Structure 1
Amino acid sequence: MNDAANRRQFWRAVFDSTVRLTTDHGTVDAQLIDISLKGVLLEAPGRWQGRIGEPCHIKLHLAPGVVIAMWGQVAHLEGQHVGVRGESSDVDSITHLRRLVELNSGDPTLLERELQTLLAP
């Protein structure tokens, strides 16, 4: 599957929030554009310099004490837009992310289909 098709494989929730983006070069606050079960699209500040393939950590605060944390790598860069492919998350983050997708999709069967796709060999 090519990169463009892979980026569109999972439904994305448009969610306006600030996220914390951490790489080996430091931590910056970035603007979340959208989030899916498999990654995020961010708008990084102009001073941020990232590289495709660079490991990173994303932290999104939904509410006090409610955090989605995702470890992954920079999958694509287009100007200040940064696509992060998620590789792992803790159980609480997955639970919060699942609920976010469920509430924003309006399709109760969508989540189940996406989880099956995500877990398929």
Structure 2
Amino acid sequence: MQNRRQFSRVLFSTDAQVIFNDHQYPCKLLDISLHGALINKCDALTGCTNNDAILRFTLPQSDIEIKMEVVVCHIEADHIGLKCRHIDIDSITYLKRLIELNLADDELLHRELTMLIHDAQ
């Protein structure tokens, strides 16, 4: 199977919340990229592919919250893939730094940021 991923994911396990249909559900963030996230299976999202939600989490040992509007892309046996539709400037700044620290490849990160900007236009 060919990997079509355009954005590097970094393993980042932390508690998170998914807001769906005006209700907040706890989940565990498994990994993250500039373009989406992978969370553990959340029963509230079962059968909800293509629905909008909000993913938010706080960086460990800080008050920094990252919040992104997402769409549910795929639901597997034990995880759910989310694609980012919108992220505010503060959240993308912190997310960029988080990925930068974990990738250790500035050139790759800047290429991905360029792709993200072009996808948004």
The letter for the 1-side match of 2:104 is: G
Q: How does 1:57-76 map to 2 (within 5 A)?
A: 57-62=54-59, 63-76=61-74
Specify the alignment match of 2:44 in structure 1: 48
For residues 48 and 75 of structure 1, the distance between their equivalents in structure 2, rounded to whole angstroms, comes to: 15
> TM-score under structure 1 normalisation?
0.87
For residues 119 and 90 of structure 1, the distance between their equivalents in structure 2, rounded to whole angstroms, comes to: 13
The letter for the 2-side match of 1:71 is: E
Specify the alignment match of 1:39 in structure 2: 36
Deviation at 1:90, TM superposition (A): 1.0
The letter for the 1-side match of 2:97 is: R
Over the matched positions of the two proteins, sequence identity in percent amounts to 33
Specify the alignment match of 2:6 in structure 1: 9
Kept in 2: contact 1:40–1:85 (CA 8 A): yes
The correspondence for 2:85, drawn from 70, 87, 90, is 87
Deviation at 1:28, TM superposition (A): 1.1
Provide runs of 4+ in structure 1 moved above 4 Å. Answer: none
RMSD: 1.5
Kept in 1: contact 2:40–2:79 (CA 8 A): yes
For residues 41 and 76 of structure 2, the distance between their equivalents in structure 1, rounded to whole angstroms, comes to: 11
Deviation at 1:9, TM superposition (A): 1.0
- Report the secondary structure of 1:120's partner residue: helix
For residues 35 and 77 of structure 1, the distance between their equivalents in structure 2, rounded to whole angstroms, comes to: 16
Deviation at 1:92, TM superposition (A): 0.7
> TM-score under structure 2 normalisation?
0.87
Give the total of aligned pairs. Answer: 115
Specify the alignment match of 1:23 in structure 2: 20
